[in-house]
Every structure is written in C-alpha cells, then in structure tokens.
C-alpha cells in the first residue's frame, strides 16, 4: 500500500472511530433531571405517548426499610430496546437514571436508588422508537433523601 493511500485510510478510520464517541459524549439532560414532576420529566426526556407493557419486568421490594437504598431491576423483553429510564414520582426530582444501549447489551439493569417516601417507581422503555412503561408501588418505611 502506498504511503498516501495508507494515510488516507488511517485518517478515515480515525475519523470514523472518533465519530460515535463524539456523538455520545453526552450532554447530561439538565432540565429533565431538575424537574420535580413525573410527567414533565418524561416529556423532557422526549417520551411521547407511553403505553403500558407487560414485557417490562420490574423487580423492586414491596416494602423498603430504608429509602436511601432501594434495589431496582428493570428488564425489557421488548424487541429493539434502545433505552431504559427509571423515575420515582414522589422524589424531589423524579428522574433517577436513563440508560442508553448502543450495541450488544441485554436491556436488563440492576441499580440502587433513593426514595423520599412511598411512591410508584416507573420504568420507561424506548423500543423501535416507541415508548412503553411499567410501574410498581414501593412502600418506604424511612425516607432516604435527607
């Protein structure tokens, strides 16, 4: 391979490799995370017309002794799941986390969240460009937001 050709290809490769990282060097969604209202936070996430789905499996305790640490698992069985968002309606700020799947990740996450008081925990899934949700009530014995 000639030197010039090699350089062109290398340059093109580097540009291509850098592209997704640039595109992903996200941008924390400040307004969505600062919103105190569930509906508003969902709207700011771009969630439109979410439909209830039994293909979302959410595992969370019925009763949480300590709201500072509530383990939640969200698994989506919806084809082409692109993202999972977790929201707690009665927290000072509703949006807890948003996970975006790029490739090769099973849409199944477990994390531990804070809950200020008894509330529904809502999981919103984007799959094939559409939005689906599932929710579960978690009773909180001792608040964890301080």
> Which of residues 2 and 83 has its CB atom nearest to other proteins in the complex?
83
Q: Which of 100, 120, 139, 142 binds other proteins (CB under 8 A)?
A: 100
Which positions ≥6 away from 91 have C-beta within 8 Å? 114, 115, 116, 119, 145
Q: Does 106 bind other proteins (CB under 8 A)?
A: yes
Chain centre distance of CA 30: 14
- Binding part of the chain for other proteins, among 2-10, 52-60, 67-75, 132-140 by CB under 8 A, reads 67-75
What the block records as the tokens of 104 is 């090769």
> Tokens 């949006």 sit at which residue?
95
Q: What pairs with residue 92 in β-bridges?
A: none
Q: Which of 40, 78, 82, 109 binds other proteins (CB under 8 A)?
A: 109
10-29 residues in contact with other proteins (CB under 8 A) are: 20-21, 24, 26, 28-29
């Amino acid at each position: 391979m000639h030197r010039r050709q090699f350089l062109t290809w290398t340059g093109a490769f580097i540009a291509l490799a850098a592209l997704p990282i640039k595109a992903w060097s996200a941008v924390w969604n400040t307004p969505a995370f600062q919103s105190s209202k569930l509906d508003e936070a969902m709207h700011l996430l771009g969630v439109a017309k979410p439909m209830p789905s039994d293909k979302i499996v959410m595992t969370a305790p019925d009763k949480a002794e300590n709201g500072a640490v509530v383990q939640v698992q969200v698994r989506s069985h919806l084809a082409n799941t692109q993202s999972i968002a977790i929201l707690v309606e009665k927290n000072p700020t509703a949006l807890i986390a948003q996970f975006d799947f790029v490739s090769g990740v099973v849409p199944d996450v477990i994390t531990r969240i804070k809950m200020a008081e008894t509330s529904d925990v809502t999981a919103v899934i984007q799959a094939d460009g559409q939005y689906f949700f599932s929710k579960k009530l978690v009773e909180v014995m001792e608040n964890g937001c301080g």
